[in-house]
Structure 1
Amino acid sequence: MKGQPHSKQRTRLAMATLSHLPLALLILAACCVLALASGGGQWKLLKRSIGISAMHMALLPNNRVIMFDRTDFGPSNVSLPNGRCRKDRHDRALQTDCWAHSVELNWVTHGVRPLTILTDTWCSSGALAPDGHLIQTGGSNDGERVVRTFSPCATCDWAELPDGLAMPRWYASNQILPDGRIIVVGGRGQFNYEFVPKTDPSEHSMYPLEFLSETRDDCENNLYPFLHLLPDGTLFLFANTKAISLDYITHRVVRTFPALPGESRNYPSTGSSTMLPLILAVNSTQPVDAEVLVCGGAPSHSNFQANKGVFLPASRTCGRIKATDESPEWSIETMPLKRVMGDMVMLPTGEILIINGAGKGTAGWGVGRDPVLCPVLYKPDAPIGHRFEVLSPSSTPRLYHSSAQLLSDGRVLVGGSNPNRGYNFSGVLFPTELSLEFFSPPYIKLKWSRPKITSLKPGRTMSYTQHFYINFYSRKQSTKGVDEILVTMVAPSFTTHSVSMNQRLLVLRVMGLEGGHDGAYRVECVPPVSAVLAPPGYYLLFLVHGGSPSRGVWVRLGKD
């Protein structure tokens, strides 16, 4: 077995990857290449064009990825089949539009199927319902109050419900709740929230939330607020630099957190956020700690300056807070690279991948500069000062309207980037990007060492109370027993504008490790004990042995 390349070799390999870039981008890329201390990971082009720019992205339980941008871009690069067209006399680009603005990707076969969206999905939001349907909300123009659904089947297409929302929702955020409903928070000019799906089509209740009005500044830096469901059942809500805990049942703010020092973090000063892995307790009486991480962003006046041609440096800081502490405080960490418009992807190992984005400017048309081509790995359990690792660079700038999604094989799908007002492939600084790439994190470097889940007992439908067993095969010899085993469940996210809505990772309690003969093992696992910890629905189950994750297996968690 060959060892990993030394640091100098990795740097040469990275520079070779970038050798075909234009000089200006090559100079920018050198910043992250020079930061490579122990970099790893590999990039691979999946498709040069899927016909649309992947502004929004969601992984379904059938392993297909649904992507879409907006309907008022004009012609895309893929037409609707069977002579289908969308007719809209109010459309600013095409009143009769026979082009697709959404596709379904089979990333195994590389097949792309055009889908039909009739209303504008620009800057919308979404979540995976407990039954595996994608529920998608809002947008712009004629789509601002629409609720759309997509079923995971080979011939399904979008279904759209006009007036499915009580209020227009443009740049809103979604979070699935323990009862299976989805809360839809905020949006441009909307300082309130509501729930979908509606049990009664005539029910148009919405609930005011003064916090959203209070945190709005002149540049509207509280759009796409960050939402995280805490283990006590309340909703952690972050906008601009401030955060609260909301009891969405009684409609009360139950806690106000300290402000996060430094730059703004929400659109257009777009940072990113995730809740760190929830490590489940030994028994149901023990509380589960929850920490929230917020990284990147830009000064609050950066968008105003960028529109005048002055591009301010993005933030290099991350704030981390234990939201379940009695007296929580933010701790500040420094990233190796400045980043605005970055995406955060939770990996099956419990590490966080920070990818895409720019080093200057903000989100918006043509106001981002200095593409950040190197992803960064964040290791939550490492000592402060040793948590970040710069990884191998891509050769494709991914700026405004980029997205990233964890796949069931442990790779990350990366796409999008269109900082232009329409599809524009020439005569602009950063052309519209229709390609998709795979990024393989460092843990995929040795395929032979990855464990393989061979069976689950009693099956792939799980309850909140019944222990289950994982049979797996691994070539690695287990010398430390259960201490070498990590079992994680990852909720698939809906990703757009650097917000990974509903992203959640749980570290399950492993009771014991048996076997080892001929590489066959079995572990007993304790599931999440309540829907507050893990809302009902589909999850990717991974087994990590000695740092190497298996391919994920889809399981459905629900009520007994």
Structure 2
Amino acid sequence: MDSVIMEAKILVFIILQLELFLFSNLVLGAHSNGGSWELLKKSIGISSMHIQLLQNERIITFDRTDAGPSNLTLPKGRKCPKISGRRDCYVHAVELDMMNNLNVRPLTVLSDTWCSSGSLLPDGKLVQSGGYGNGEKVVRTLEPCPTCDWKEDYKGLISPRWYASNQVLPGGNIIVVGGRFQFSYEFIPKSSKPEDHRLYTLPFLKETRYSSQIPNNLYPFTHLSTDGNLFIFANNRGILLDYVKNKVVKTYPTMPGEVARNYPSTGSSVLLPLDLSTKTTPEAEVFICGGTHPESFNKAKAGIFLEATKTCGRLRITAANPKWEMEEMPISRVLGDMIMLPTGDVLIINGAANGSAGWWYARVPVYNPVIYRPAEAATANRFEVLKAATIPRLYHSTAHLLSDGRVLVAGSNPNHNYNFTVPFPTELSVEAFSPPYLTSGKPRPSISSVKPGMNLAYKQKFSVEFQVKVRQLGKFYLTMVAPSFTTHSFSMNQRLLLLAVNRVRRMSSGSYAVEGDAPASAAVAPPGYYQLFVVYEGVPSVGKWVHIK
């Protein structure tokens, strides 16, 4: 009898989700050009909790090592490592070759990466920190090469870092901020410098908790300001931190509304495009969207799933008297990812309309991505609802910009183990969403060359040669995008620069050469790899990798 009742409940649940999906498609997504979806791979064997694109066009993605068997075993002949006292022959991290049909290369990770953080070093090496259990103090590194695998330093951190955030700094090192019951920050990789072996207290992280029992500001939002200081946001408040002197140099107004924005209330945040076309040191503006009531997590544990918020806020963090400018998304959203597109627009994707982060705590998947155009003068014209997906992407889903302008979407694992029989099963598939600029039919530019080459220096003038099939050249601009480490609805180190353009000339070949200025300082553009795009009449080229130091 109990099984019959359970089956009936599941049937009712599925019907409700179908109705919501149809409503999403017919009402919210009724656009002639709302982009398109493509299933790239039905299963990569693991669920993508963390994701990073490398400059060799390989995606590194992984989940955790303590959740039991994945759906992918180690290749024959590879020794099964010992994890938590047992032999584990299952794969928990993979490399996806974006240039070769998403070919899956298994990687070996021994420490638990659950809810960890990451960044790219200036040389392109992936540095990944913290996690759970035996991974809480581990710093892992992965070099971008066809045969490289994880290297793990179990004493890489001073404090345990579970649910911490990373940010690349102007010096090329990385600051690691917060974590569960960790009200401090430190720097990695450790060097011989004394400051790398110190722990810096940050009371702000304790002050912004909604409850002493639940550290409701995990994965704080961090953005490097153009003055070299670090913006940190937790729940509804932000500060500007001089991390060298361990001094708060600015305290920002409280964000309006009774909404928490950080895990487990889980909104998302981006640094809006830095406009270098008129200033070498531009203004910096943060945009934060989504989240839910501070008690949503506790309510969800009791079976009550509160509606998420529609609100967003913009804050010019470099202004003398910064004030929040509040707006509303078309759809309520928690657990959404915010991805900077090459055009300078923001894609809001994945997530749910009710509940919070945590196992089984999200309900009513939001299938429709939304685009936000920050440069639009009229607030009413900034948001647009796009074509709906068919796969729900809830807790532990991810998204990442690809060099071809698409957005890779993966993951969703609201279960303790790999469970495929619950209403929201563990998701192993990988999709690509093509924003409207790829389905508009407009001419798309292509970059022929970058001179003097891939390696740029600060303040350097360089030339980009590109082709576009038009009779007369229209409006275009150059952007540089820093690839992000994405997990738990926050894309760490994500950054978009609108470059200054000096002149353009038509070549005898029919292509165009445009002279641009490289960013002026490491505070504006931390050293490392970036994707360079030409955007013509709103359509970006395929990105070319450049390196600045």
TM over 0.5, shorter chain: yes
Aligned to 1:425: 420
Aligned to 1:182: 174
**Change over 3 Å in CA distance of 1:478–1:44 after alignment to 2:** same
Q: Does 1:551 align with 2:547?
A: no
The 5 A counterparts of 1:78-93 are 78-81=72-75, 82-90=77-85
3-state DSSP class of the match of 2:379? coil
TM-score, structure 2 as length reference: 0.94
Alpha-carbon deviation of 1:24?
Answer: 2.7
Query: Contact (CA 8 Å) 1:269, 1:340: kept in 2 or not?
Result: yes
Match of 2:116 among 124, 139, 156: 124
Structure 1 residues 196-205 or 354-363, which shifts more? 196-205
Deviations 1:168-223 (A, max 9, x none): 00000000000001000000010000000100399631100000010012232210
Distance in 2, matches of 1:346 and 1:113, equals 28
Aligned to 1:213: 206
Q: Does 1:535 align with 2:502?
A: no
Distance in 1, matches of 2:471 and 2:103, equals 38
Distance in 1, matches of 2:279 and 2:425, equals 53
Q: Does 1:330 align with 2:324?
A: yes
**Change over 3 Å in CA distance of 1:153–1:300 after alignment to 2:** same
Aligned to 1:405: 400
Query: Contact (CA 8 Å) 1:490, 1:505: kept in 2 or not?
Result: yes
Match of 1:367 among 350, 361, 365: 361
**Change over 3 Å in CA distance of 1:328–1:201 after alignment to 2:** closer
3-state DSSP class of the match of 2:288? strand
Aligned to 1:515: 506
Alpha-carbon deviation of 1:453?
Answer: 0.3
Aligned to 2:449: 455
Structure 1 residues 53-62 or 469-478, which shifts more? 469-478
Q: Which amino acid aligns with 1:173?
A: S
Aligned to 2:10: none
Aligned to 2:260: 264
Query: Contact (CA 8 Å) 2:447, 2:467: kept in 1 or not?
Result: yes
3-state DSSP class of the match of 1:425? coil
Alpha-carbon deviation of 1:22?
Answer: 4.9
Query: Contact (CA 8 Å) 1:57, 1:65: kept in 2 or not?
Result: yes
**Change over 3 Å in CA distance of 1:445–1:518 after alignment to 2:** farther
Aligned to 1:163: 155
Match of 1:280 among 259, 266, 276: 276
Distance in 2, matches of 1:446 and 1:137, equals 40
Query: Contact (CA 8 Å) 1:376, 1:390: kept in 2 or not?
Result: yes
Q: Which amino acid aligns with 1:80?
A: L
Aligned to 1:112: 104
3-state DSSP class of the match of 1:112? strand
Match of 1:346 among 322, 328, 340: 340
3-state DSSP class of the match of 1:213? helix
3-state DSSP class of the match of 1:29? helix
3-state DSSP class of the match of 1:414? strand
**Change over 3 Å in CA distance of 1:357–1:103 after alignment to 2:** same
Aligned to 1:436: 430
Deviations 1:495-536 (A, max 9, x none): 000010000000001112211766411100011000010000
Identity %: 55
Distance in 2, matches of 1:26 and 1:370, equals 10
Alpha-carbon deviation of 1:348?
Answer: 0.3
3-state DSSP class of the match of 1:495? strand
Aligned to 2:15: 23
Aligned to 1:148: 140
Distance in 1, matches of 2:119 and 2:160, equals 17
Deviations 1:71-110 (A, max 9, x none): 00111111112232121345xxxx2111010000012322
Instruction: Give the alignment's Cα RMSD to 1 decimal.
Output: 1.5
Q: Which amino acid aligns with 1:277?
A: P
Q: Does 1:246 align with 2:241?
A: yes
Query: Contact (CA 8 Å) 1:274, 1:293: kept in 2 or not?
Result: yes
Aligned to 1:231: 226
Distance in 1, matches of 2:83 and 2:131, equals 16
Distance in 2, matches of 1:89 and 1:390, equals 45
Match of 2:386 among 360, 367, 391: 391
Query: Contact (CA 8 Å) 1:54, 1:68: kept in 2 or not?
Result: yes
Query: Contact (CA 8 Å) 1:475, 1:519: kept in 2 or not?
Result: no
Distance in 2, matches of 1:184 and 1:404, equals 22
Query: Contact (CA 8 Å) 1:321, 1:330: kept in 2 or not?
Result: yes
3-state DSSP class of the match of 2:391? coil
Query: Contact (CA 8 Å) 1:448, 1:475: kept in 2 or not?
Result: no
Aligned to 1:464: 458
**Change over 3 Å in CA distance of 1:301–1:22 after alignment to 2:** closer
3-state DSSP class of the match of 1:117? coil
Deviations 1:217-262 (A, max 9, x none): 2232210000000011110100010000000111100000001112
Structure 1 residues 410-419 or 212-221, which shifts more? 212-221
Deviations 1:348-402 (A, max 9, x none): 0000000000000000000000000000000001121110010001100000000
Q: Which amino acid aligns with 1:302?
A: S
3-state DSSP class of the match of 2:219? coil
**Change over 3 Å in CA distance of 1:302–1:433 after alignment to 2:** same
Query: Contact (CA 8 Å) 1:32, 1:390: kept in 2 or not?
Result: no
Query: Contact (CA 8 Å) 1:476, 1:519: kept in 2 or not?
Result: no
Q: Does 1:101 align with 2:97?
A: no
Query: Contact (CA 8 Å) 2:29, 2:388: kept in 1 or not?
Result: no
Q: Which amino acid aligns with 2:52?
A: A
3-state DSSP class of the match of 1:71? coil
Distance in 2, matches of 1:407 and 1:171, equals 25
Query: Contact (CA 8 Å) 1:404, 1:414: kept in 2 or not?
Result: yes
Alpha-carbon deviation of 1:30?
Answer: 3.1
The 5 A counterparts of 1:35-114 are 35-36=28-29, 38=31, 40-81=34-75, 82-90=77-85, 95-109=86-100, 110-114=102-106
Query: Contact (CA 8 Å) 1:164, 1:201: kept in 2 or not?
Result: no
Q: Which amino acid aligns with 2:185?
A: Y
TM-score, structure 1 as length reference: 0.92
